Amino acid sequence: MHVANDLTVAPGGALTGRLTVPGDKSVSHRSVMLGALADGVCQVSDCLLGEDVLATMDAFRALGVAVENHGDGRLTVHGVGVDGLRAPSAPLYLGNSGTSMRLLSGILAGAGLPATLTGDPSLSRRPMRRVAEPLNRMGARIATAEGGTPPLTLAGGGRLRAIDYVLPVASAQVKSAVLLAGLFADGITRVTEPAPTRDHTELMLRACGVDLTVEHGTVSLRGGQRLAPFDIQVPADISSAAFFIVGAAIAPGSALTLPAVGVNPTRTGILDIMDAMGARIDHGQPRACGAEPVADLTIHGGPLRGIEIPAAAVPLAIDEFPAIFIAAACADGRTVLHGAEELRHKESDRIAVMARGLAALGIACEVFDDGIAIEGGQLQGGEIDAEGDHRIAMSFAMAALRASGPVTIHNAANIATSFPSFVADARAVGLRIQA
pLDDT for res 158: 85
| Residue 393: Cβ within 10 Å count | 28
CB 87 within 8 A of CB 113: yes
CA–CA gap between residue 141 and residue 126 (Å, rounded): 20
List the alpha helices (DSSP H) in 76-199: 98-111, 129-137, 172-182
CA–CA gap between residue 42 and residue 26 (Å, rounded): 17
| Amino acid (one-letter) located at 351 | I
CA–CA gap between residue 362 and residue 356 (Å, rounded): 10
| Measured CA distances, 194 to 130, 165, 219, 220, 312 (Å) | 15, 11, 12, 15, 11
**Residues facing 379 on adjacent strands:** 403
| Residue 220: Cβ within 10 Å count | 18
pLDDT for res 3: 85
* φ, ψ at 115 (rounded to 5°): -165, 160
pLDDT for res 381: 98
| Amino acid (one-letter) located at 341 | E
- Nearest CA-CA partner of 16 in 402, 304, 298, 379: 298
Run of H or E including 192? strand 188-192
| Measured CA distances, 70 to 22, 76, 193 (Å) | 16, 8, 38
Report helix, strand or coil for 34.
Answer: helix
Structural domains of the chain, with CATH: 7-23+235-434 (3.65.10.10), 25-233 (3.65.10.10)
CB 298 within 8 A of CB 255: yes
Run of H or E including 58? helix 51-62
Q: For the residues of 385-421, what is the DSSP string, one character each?
A: E-TT-HHHHHHHHHHGGGBSS-EEEES-GGGGGT-TT
Spot the catalytic one: 319, 385, 389, 425. 319
389: annotated active-site residue: no
**Residues facing 200 on adjacent strands:** none
- Nearest CA-CA partner of 385 in 422, 414, 353: 353
Per-residue pLDDT of the chain (435 residues; tens, 9 = 90+): 678 899 999 999 999 999 999 999 999 999 999 999 999 999 999 999 999 999 999 999 999 999 999 988 999 999 999 999 999 999 999 999 999 999 999 999 999 999 999 999 999 999 999 999 999 999 999 999 999 999 999 999 889 999 999 999 889 999 999 999 999 999 999 999 998 999 999 999 999 999 999 999 999 999 999 999 999 999 999 999 999 999 999 999 999 999 999 999 999 999 999 999 999 999 999 999 888 999 999 999 999 999 999 999 999 999 999 999 999 999 999 999 999 999 998 999 999 999 999 999 999 999 999 999 999 999 999 999 999 999 999 999 999 999 999 999 999 999 999 899 999 999 999 999 987
- Rounded to 10 degrees, the C-alpha dihedral 170/95/239/15 comes to 160
Run of H or E including 357? helix 350-360
CA–CA gap between residue 2 and residue 435 (Å, rounded): 11
List the alpha helices (DSSP H) in 146-231: 172-182, 200-207
Residue 49 carries which DSSP code?
-
Report helix, strand or coil for 329.
Answer: helix
Q: pTM of this prediction?
A: 0.91
State yes or no: cis peptide before 293, omega within 30 of 0: no
Number of residues that make up the chain: 435
